[in-house]
Structure 1
Amino acid sequence: MGGTESPARQAISSARRVVVKIGSSALTSLAGGIDLQRLDLLADAVEARMQAGSDVVVVSSGAIGAGMAPLGLTRRPKDLATKQAAASVGQLALAHAWGTSFTRYGRTVGQVLLSADDFGRREHHRNAQRTLDRLRSLGAVAVVNENDTVATEEIRFGDNDRLAALVAHLVGADALFLLSDVDGLYDGDPRKGAATMIPEVRSSADLDGVIAGSGGALGTGGMASKLSAARLAADAGVPVLLAAASDAAAALGGGQVGTAFTARGVRLSARKFWVRHAADARGVLVLDAGAVRAVSRRRSSLLAAGITSVRGRFYGGDVVALVGPDDVVVARGVVAYDSTELANMLGSSTADLPSELQRPVVHADDLVAVEPA
């Protein structure tokens, strides 16, 4: 692109491996289910990007919306059973629609349904990674969706924006596109009056004063979830473009549309990303002020001497949250001991413990500081 293009947009336009998330409102309507014409246009944009040399993984919302019309539902269901029923119908229809659309280009589509549990468990996480990598190596287009038919309110992602950010790191993407019914990030709701688009987010300072709203009739996302997902991906080293699905061709073609989010300089390792963002915390370790400084500033291993109390039941190898005396989370890490074992070690110096208990409670290599929001 031209010389005025920012580094973030340069990275996005030249990315060789990308994840494209498409919102429910871009694919479905309350009256008619899947809008095949719009889906074809989106597939056209993805195909053009692939022809230009990029590998593309699609994260497609719309399963519940796609299942509503066939089931005679006129509004998005609120109860879990009806959501799951609509998703069971819609996932089949959505996968068929994507497959039919990409058949025009001689491409095969593979559907990958993921749940939050697949990211929270390390082995499931690796299995999903291998599946997506193999689909790509075989020349197929992977279409990912949350497995809404089995997800419960307690274990679901909440929206496919977060799912897309997790998938972007999972596949080692060079860029993430969040495409929906909004054309970028504004400092307010443009539907309610004057609002200014923010063309680029380089740091949290660019978000001062931004007010993000919730989702619409067909989706669970909204600007708040998109902003959260964009920051999650950028924090993990993946630049993000937030744009309108109607601008998909321009967005994927390197056009100056939407809002670009600059990635942090150093990409988190797969293990540290999993610890920080994907794994569920199974318990809580409460630290004294000295231990907080050690783990959050010096990135030191956590020793038993700095722990004042333990909450929850967990086992060695689980991810736990580390909180300070004010109960604010300062880090997450993989704990080396069971909760029952650790309860008898609190406040003890390493030298006073038996030799088999002298290793760190959380090793520095398995610890990730949590930056304030």
Structure 2
Amino acid sequence: MSALSQAKRIVIKLGTGVLTSGIGELDTARIETLCQQVNMLREQGIEVILVSSGAVGLGMGKLGLNKRPRDMANLQACASVGQSILINTWQKGFDPHGITVAQILLTREDLRAKHRHNAVFNTVERLLAHGTVPIVNENDTVSAVEIKFGDNDTLSALVASVVNADLLFILSNIPGLIDMQGSGEVVERIEKITPEIEAMAQGTNTETSVGGMISKLSAAKIAHRAGCGVIIGSGKENKLFEQLLEGKSAGTYFVPSTQPVKSHKRWIAIQDHTFGNVHIDAGATEAIVKRGKSLLAAGIVKVEGDFHAGDVVRICAPDGLPIAQGIIHTDAAEVSEYSDPAPVIHRDHLVLL
């Protein structure tokens, strides 16, 4: 049985190259086909959330720009112009199927703040209960450097984690991860993202897109940690979802973790901004990684950063590499004097990386 046929909730990320036929030109025929595909999935009982690129590219066309702007103000202007065109086009594509779309625009800060993270989850739950298709994009018009996701591959993986999706599709103009150093064919299945797998990735130089296979592998890592499978494939393939439902191979399938992050730890798992580092000894490392224990003060060798109780910090092994992150129960200045028998970071508030 295929991963898609077993899925109850999926996230589909669609790249600019899939949705446009040139700068500022939406491929309406492609969008209509994708809407048909989403409707088919919904008839199979699968809930669908879309992460749609394209706003900046559409804005570029409307503003007469041939190259993606480098300055933030022009990027935000393009996004502001293009976003309304994008969401209206999606609604027109779903109208024949009687489906209503809902626009959700996010910044990185919306997922860093726990109460806003929870609000996103609750909103999506309610929208799906009403039978709508949520369409997510980065809120580029207000995003500054420090609150940007960087690319919609990353955004889609974070969304998949937040909404507890079973499967994430990252669809672009490429058919999957290609083994450029070996067979030259698409790698059909990946159990673990190793350095050898990462070496296959390449970036992109198109005028409307950002990222490339490097960002897609990074997104796959995030989704994997949350227990979400990932399929990187071609958004130009009209029968992609039918093939997968029939158990056929299409694209590259990244197997999800067999020990996914529990729902109450998902917010911790997706935090890319931590407030400091806690370096631990070999004994504490083994206890956390192999025996599933909490972090006790006795295992801490040194701390870095000016963090406070309740902050998310990164836990580093003796070689300096991060192995986990979690919510610490004391301030940085008080770690060396911590005498409470309770853990410094409890296992319930700790996520392995």
Q: TM-score, normalised by structure 2?
A: 0.91
C-alpha change, 1:85 and 1:240, in structure 2 (3 Å) is same
1:365 aligned to which of 339, 348, 352: 348
Correspondence for 2:256? 263
Distance 1:92 1:84 in 2: 13
Q: 1:197 aligns with which of 175, 186, 190?
A: 186
Distance change >3 Å, CA 128–CA 264, structure 1 → 2: same
Q: Shift in Å at residue 210 of structure 1?
A: 4.4
Residues 209 and 31 of structure 1, relative CA distance in 2, 3 Å threshold: closer
Select 1:73's aligned residue among 65, 70, 91. Answer: 65
- Corresponding residue number in structure 2 for 1:220: 210
Code of the residue aligned with 2:201 in structure 1: it is A
Aligned partner (choices 40, 51, 62) of residue 54 of structure 2: 62
Is 1:291 the equivalent of 2:288? no
One-letter amino acid of the counterpart of residue 367, structure 1: L
SS in 1 for 2:145: coil
How far residue 70 of structure 1 moved from its aligned partner, in angstroms, is 0.7
Match of 1:95 in 2: 87
Deviation at 1:146, TM superposition (A): 1.2
Contact residue 315 and residue 339 of structure 1 kept, 8 A = yes
DSSP-derived class of the 1:197 partner: coil
Look up the match of 2:221.
231
1: CA distance, partners of 2:251 / 2:308: 45
Question: Are 1:278 and 2:265 matched, yes or no?
Answer: no
RMSD between aligned residues? 2.2
Structure 1 residue 368, shift from structure 2 partner = 1.7
Please list, as runs of the form range in 1=range in 2, the aligned pairs for 1:149-160 lying within 5 A after superposition: 149-160=141-152
The match for 2:102 is: 110
Query: Alpha-carbon deviation of 1:29?
Result: 4.4
Do structure 1's residue 323 and structure 2's residue 316 form an aligned pair?
yes
Deviation at 1:124, TM superposition (A): 0.9
- Which is further off, 73-82 or 207-216? 207-216
What SS is found at the alignment partner of 2:57? helix
Alpha-carbon contact 1:121-1:279 (below 8 Å) kept? no
Paired AA for residue 146 in structure 2: E
What's 2:4 paired with?
Answer: 12
The answer to whether the 8 Å contact 1:237/1:267 transfers is: yes
Cα distance in 2, alignment partners of residues 151 and 183 from structure 1: 31
**4+ residue runs over 4 A deviation:** 205-210
Larger mean CA deviation between 25-34 and 146-155 belongs to 25-34
> Which amino acid is the alignment partner of residue 124 of structure 1?
R
The amino acid across from 2:256 in the alignment is: A
Q: Given the alignment, which residue of 241, 245, 257 partners 2:235? A: 245
Sort the Cα spacing of 1:84 and 1:169 in 2 relative to 1 into closer, same or farther, 3 A: same
- Asked if the contact 1:286/1:325 (under 8 Å) is kept, the reply is yes
Instruction: Identify the residue that residue 85 of structure 1 maps to in structure 2.
Output: 77
State the number of aligned residues: 349
Compute the displacement of 1:144 (Å).
Answer: 0.5
- Aligned AA (2:300): I
Asked whether the equivalents of residues 303 and 362 of structure 1 are also in contact (C-alpha less than 8 Å), the reply is yes
Q: C-alpha deviations, 1:231-277, integer Å up to 9, x for none? A: 32233222222110011532355253211122222331123232222
The answer to whether the 8 A contact 1:185-1:197 is kept is yes
What displacement does 1:128 show? Answer: 0.1
Aligned to 1:4: none
Equivalent residue, structure 1, for 2:329 = 336
Q: Does 1:188 align with 2:180?
A: yes
Matched, 1:172 2:164: yes
Distance 1:232 1:12 in 2: 19
CA contact (8 A) 1:29 1:35 kept: yes
Cα deviation, residue 308, structure 1: 2.6
Query: How far apart, in 1, do the equivalents of 2:64 and 2:232 lie?
Result: 33
Q: Cα offset for 1:126? A: 0.6
Aligned to 1:3: none
Q: Structure 1 CA distance, aligned partners of 2:78 and 2:155? A: 20
Cα separation, 1, equivalents of 2:251 and 2:160: 19
1:203/1:69 Cα in 2 relative to 1: closer, same or farther (>3 Å)?
same
Distance change in 2, residues 1:266/1:99 (3 Å): same
Aligned to 2:295: 302
CA distance 1:291–1:256, change in 2 (3 Å): closer
Q: CA deviation at 1:114?
A: 1.3
Task: Compare 270-279 and 54-63 and name the one that shifted more.
Answer: 270-279
Alpha carbons of structure 1 residues 206 and 241: separation in structure 2 relative to 1, 3 Å? farther
TM-score (norm 1): 0.87
Equivalent in the alignment of 1:146: 138
One-letter amino acid of the structure 1 residue matched with residue 43 of structure 2: Q
Q: Give the fraction of aligned pairs with identical amino acids, expressed as a percent.
A: 39
Superposed displacement of residue 207, structure 1:
5.0
Structure 1 runs not aligned, ≥5 long = 1-6
Partner of 1:333, secondary structure, is strand
Q: CA deviation at 1:360?
A: 1.4
